[in-house]
């Protein structure tokens, strides 16, 4: 896709990347807006604490062996709660 200044940009997940490396954010679609609204309505603090609790129970209070998929799942939980912590910032 060609930008107004003649540079080419390519779509990469939720943003456009121009050739010079700068990011052009796309606006959220209605489903994404509704999802974030539901997160805020439900209570971001409660969701963060729930994700941390599930993570800690799985990691520290089980005798199960963790292989790559399980480690990835725990990392994904951490990624989610850290993202939610960013949402609660003004």
Predicted local confidence at residue 32, as pLDDT: 92
Predicted local confidence at residue 2, as pLDDT: 45
Predicted local confidence at residue 1, as pLDDT: 44
Predicted local confidence at residue 31, as pLDDT: 96
Predicted local confidence at residue 87, as pLDDT: 83
Query: What residues of the chain score a pLDDT lower than 70?
Result: 1-22, 90
Can you tell me the distance from the alpha carbon of 1 to that of 24, in angstroms, rounded to the nearest whole number?
12
CB count in 10 Å sphere of residue 90 = 2
Could you tell me the CA-to-CA distances from 38 to 33, 47, 58, 69 in Å, in that order? 9, 11, 26, 28
pTM of the predicted model as reported, rounded to 2 decimal places:
0.64
């Amino acid at each position: 896709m060609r930008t107004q200044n003649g540079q080419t940009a390519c779509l990469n997940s939720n943003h456009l990347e121009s050739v010079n490396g700068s990011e052009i954010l796309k606006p959220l679609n209605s489903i994404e807006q509704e999802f974030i609204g539901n997160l805020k309505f439900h209570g971001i603090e409660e969701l963060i604490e729930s994700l941390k609790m599930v993570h800690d129970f799985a990691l520290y209070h089980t005798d199960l062996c963790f292989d790559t998929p399980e480690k990835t799942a725990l990392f994904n939980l951490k990624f989610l709660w850290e993202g939610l912590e960013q949402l609660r910032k003004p």
